[in-house]
Chains A and B, each alone.
Chain A
Amino acid sequence: MKKTLIVLTIIAFATTSLFASGEKETSIQEGLTFSNWSGSEESSKEIFKWMIDSFNEDQSSENQVVQINWPWGDTESQLALRAQGKEQYDIAQIDIRMLPALASAGVLADLSDIFGESFFSDNFAPGSISVGNYNGVQYGVPWTVAPMGMIVNPQILKDSGVDFDIVTIADFEKAMEMVKNNHPANNDSDAGNDILPFAAMTKDGGTCAPDFMVWLWTFGASVFDENGNCVLDSEEAIETINWFKSLSDKGYIQGAMGRGDARTLYKEGRVAFYNDALLAKGAITNEAFGSIETYAKPQVNPVLNEGDTPKASGWGHLLVIIDRSPKKVEAKAFIEHLISEDVALKYFDEIGMLPSKKSVLNSNEVKNDYWSNSWTPILDGGRLAETAGQNYSAYNSIIVENLQAVLSGSKTSEKAAADMVSRIENL
């Protein structure tokens, strides 16, 4: 009797477990999911909560938006994983660099069908529309689009005696030299206060490789030629690598520098130059230094020769709708809410995210803002990382590993360039 009871209990347990797991599969979708990374970041957590809450106020329970957060670096893989699974997700914030891979994987919906053809041309500038377009299909609504710029600390330059405009690479090198040698903090015994001339990315593929590409373009090199062949062993590319190595040898840049590290150091007033996107404002604001114009000035990257067009890495956030979402109409309403004037201006006001919608972009609040005005010269000329696409991470890893090898001295520039080409071609 006792044994029979135990057997029955085991069978009952096993069957109820099976039914319990099966029930979830058949449940009807309630609400909408908004996948993003900014909602979990300290600087934008509050505004994201407000954006969602203000939308939910007017929605019925089945159309309430809930957010799912993961770090920026995991966004592409998380969206991809969900595309293969059965989990619900409807709207997502993506980086423009993720668009080629996600679009060609068939994860994203064609927004022209949902928003209508004229929606984009009526509301956005052609440059903004193009970043959400892949192979002629409009997959993304431009949320905030602005190339990455060079953020300069005028106070550090002044304290170092830099009294000239930084236009060319030669000016840039001279300024870095002066910061390294002349700044009082670099001449005292406390290494804990040292000022780093340039917080160039050297740590991870996701930030180092796209930033390094800007220098490649500046020196007239590229990762691929027009036929798609890797040309990282070109004369210009090797010259760029040599130049980057010289910055390290002179102590102007340092290893293990990620974007987060650079922002932290900049916020502490310990970096003269670094590359970042418009959203940096939220991360580098430090009221202890006074108003932001005293310690942060966005400007274009230096050029090789005077008169050259400054190069910049394309940057921006898009709002996309997932192709298999059953609630595309509701998703559209949420996106319209996010880019509406009230919401976009509050987003801009709180963390400096430049709106993309023409009507909002032309508002006085935006036009009179120091940060966005400083960004105006940078707005033209942003270029998407050449590695964006299916092998984005693999290409970037190859570039950063070889660049690190050059910086540490374990490879020459020529050897590293040849290794990059060989590995990229044999991927």
Chain B
Amino acid sequence: MAIRVVVQEEPFDFGAEAECFAAGRSDMGAVVTFTGVVRDVSGTLETMEIEHYPGMTQKALEKIAAEAEARWQLGEVLVIHRHGRMGPGERIMMVATASPHRGHAFEAAEYLMDYLKSRAPFWKKESGTGGTSWVAAKDEDEDALSRW
């Protein structure tokens, strides 16, 4: 079982990451990838800035990935999360899971997403023609954890 967690400012190459994720693992019948993209809901967004807590981020993500590993049958887990400034349509993060079973790969990917939304120390700030504001956490993000 391999867990890889990457926290970086620069863009990542989704194609290359997806291509080499669990490559050559003939025991993994299912690979799920999820990508989070900067969304411009109102058509006024110019940039999104993601702040993080450098000392804590990597550890928090590794802990979430290790939890997923303990709960599902996984061969590989990948989490990439960016920080810094990005524009609408840019990729913020991705997770990938590989498992012998499709159900495990999907559920683990959803679990990773739910937890890294509200338990990994990232904060989004949106700037645009409507001004600048911190993105507020949603109650449903917190509620999403209760299903696990």
- Real complex partners, A and B? no
Chain B residues within 8 Å of A, Cβ to Cβ: none
